[in-house]
Amino acid sequence: MTDTARALPGVSKAVVPAAGLGTRFLPATKATPKEMLPIVDKPAIQYVVEEAVAAGLDDVLMITGRSKRSIEDHFDRAYELEEALRAKNDTQRLHSVRESSELAQVHYVRQGEPRGLGHAVLCAAAHVGGEPFAVLLGDDLIGAREALLRRMIEVRETYGGSVVALMEVEPEQVSLYGCAAIEPTDEDDVVAVTDLVEKPPADQAPSRWAIIGRYICDPAVFDVLRDTPPGRGGEIQLTDALRELAKRTTADGGPVHGVLFRGQRYDTGNKVDYLRTVVEFACERPDLAAEFLPWLRDFVAQADGRA
Ligand code: UTP
C-alpha cells in the first residue's frame, strides 16, 4: 500500500443509479423502473443492494427518476401487508416482505432529467461528500458467490484513485460498452487503465475489456463530472470523467485501475440477458429447481426436436 493510499478514507457508501429510461425494455418500463423487474421473486435492485451490504456498504443512495415510488416502497415497511401476513401466521412471507426494508440504510435523491450515468452519479455529490464511494448499476447483477466488489475496494485501498470492473467481451459486443486500454500490474487480476472510450466501434476499441456496472470512484470524480460535457448519445458519461482521472496521479484524484472479472454477470436491462438471468436464478433456488428443472429439460428437448 502506498503512503498516499494509506492516508485515504475507506469506502462506506454505495450509490445505485436507477433513473435511466430503460427504453430497451419498453413497454414494461413505461411505468416501472427496469431495476424493479423481478428476477424470480425479487426485483433486480434488491440483489444489488444485497451485494453492497455483503461488501460492507450499508449506506445506500439510490438515484431515482420518474416512477421512483415503487423503489421507495420496496425498501420501506409495508404495514398493511405485514399485518395481513401476521394475522395469517405466514411468517415466511412476512420475513420476505420485511427483509428488503431491513437490509440497509437506504437514501434517495432524484435525478430531475435522465442526462446520463455521469449526471446521475453527480447527483450523489452532497450525500457522498469527500469520501471514495462505490457505484453499482441497479440493472447489472453479479453472481452472489463472486467477491468482485470487495476485491475492488481492496484495490482502491492499495492503489488509491478509482477502480473499474472489466470483463472480456466478444469483438462484436465491444461497441455496447465503455472499453479500456490497459497495462499489466504485478497482480494478475489488476490492470492500470490508461484510456477509456465509451461504446467504440469494434475496429477502434483499445481492447476487448469492457466496463461493467461496478465502480469505486474517488470523490475527485465529482469536480470532473461538473466539467464533463455531454458525450456519446448527448449524455454526460461516467466513462468520460474516469478517462480524465486515468491521466492523473494519486495527488490529483487519479489514477484508474481495473479489476479483471471472469465470473457471473447479468445485464438485466437487456431482454435476452434478463430471460437468462431469471432461468439461471430459478435453477439455483432449492424451493423451485426440483419442479422447474425437469420442465426446462423437457421444454428444451422438445424445442430441439422442433428445430
Ligand atoms: P443504461 O445505459 O442501461 O441506460 O443505464 P437506460 O437509459 O436506463 O436504458 P436503455 O438503454 O434506455 O434501455 C445504466 C444505468 O444507469 C442508470 C440506469 O438506470 C441504469 O441503472 N441511469 C442512466 C441513470 O440513473 N440516469 C441516467 O440518466 C442514465
pLDDT, tens only, 106-150: 999 999 999 999 999 999 999 999 999 999 999 999 998 899 999
The rounded Å distance from CA 120 to ligand 1 centre is: 9
| Grid cell for residue 105 | 440504510
Structure confidence by residue, pLDDT tens digits, 166-223: 999 999 999 999 999 999 999 999 999 999 998 999 889 999 999 999 999 999 999 9
Contact partners, residue 67, CB within 8 Å, separation at least 6: 31, 32, 33
Structure confidence by residue, pLDDT tens digits, 11-34: 999 999 999 999 999 999 999 999
Q: Whose CA is nearest to atom 1 of ligand 1?
A: 20
Query: Which of the four pLDDT bands, split at 50, 70 and 90, describes residue 307?
Result: low
Q: Residue 1: is its pLDDT beyond 70? A: no
Query: Which of the four pLDDT bands, split at 50, 70 and 90, describes residue 306?
Result: confident
Closest CA to 252 of 2, 4, 1: 4
Q: Residue 7: is its pLDDT beyond 80? A: no
Instruction: Name residue, grid cell 446520463.
Output: 116
Q: Residue 231: is its pLDDT beyond 90? A: no
Q: Residue 6: is its pLDDT beyond 80? A: no
| Inter-residue contact 9 to 153 (CB < 8 Å) | no
First-to-last alpha carbon distance for the chain, in angstroms, is 57
More confident residue, 7 or 292: 292
Q: Whose CA is nearest to atom 25 of ligand 1?
A: 19
Which of 71, 117, 123, 136 should be mutated for ligand 1, with most atoms under 8 A from CB?
A: 117
Measured from the CA of 25, which atom of ligand 1 is nearest? 13
pLDDT given at position 160: 95
Per-residue pLDDT, averaged over 264-280, amounts to 95
| 271 to 58, 266, 268, 275, 276: CA distances (angstroms) | 30, 11, 7, 6, 9
Kindly list the protein residues whose Cβ atom lies closer than 6 A to any atom of ligand 1.
17-25, 63, 111, 114-117, 119-120, 137-139, 269
pLDDT given at position 198: 87
Burial of 30 (0-12, 13-18, 19+ CB in 10 A): exposed
Contact partners, residue 214, CB within 8 Å, separation at least 6: 134, 135, 136, 137, 140, 142, 148, 149, 152, 164, 165
Query: Which of the four pLDDT bands, split at 50, 70 and 90, describes residue 295?
Result: very high
pLDDT given at position 233: 85
| Inter-residue contact 82 to 94 (CB < 8 Å) | yes
What's the rounded Cα separation, in Å, for the pair 245 and 194? 10
Q: What is the mean pLDDT of the chain?
A: 93
Please give the model's pTM, rounded to 2 decimal places: 0.94
Structure confidence by residue, pLDDT tens digits, 44-87: 999 999 999 999 999 999 999 987 889 999 999 999 999 999 99
User: Parallel, antiparallel, or unpaired: how do β-strands 38-39 and 105-110 relate?
Assistant: unpaired
Residue 186: phi and psi, rounded to 5, are -75, -10
The rounded Å distance from CA 281 to ligand 1 centre is: 23
Q: Residue 3: is its pLDDT beyond 70? A: no
Measured from the CA of 29, which atom of ligand 1 is nearest? 13
Q: Residue 4: is its pLDDT beyond 50? A: no
Burial of 133 (0-12, 13-18, 19+ CB in 10 A): buried
Q: What percent of the chain has pLDDT over 70?
A: 97
Measured from the CA of 137, which atom of ligand 1 is nearest? 21
What's the rounded Cα separation, in Å, for the pair 169 and 167? 6
More confident residue, 9 or 14: 14
Angle at 273 between CA 286 and CA 298, to 5 degrees: 50
pLDDT given at position 114: 94
Measured from the CA of 140, which atom of ligand 1 is nearest? 21
Per-residue pLDDT, averaged over 295-304, amounts to 93
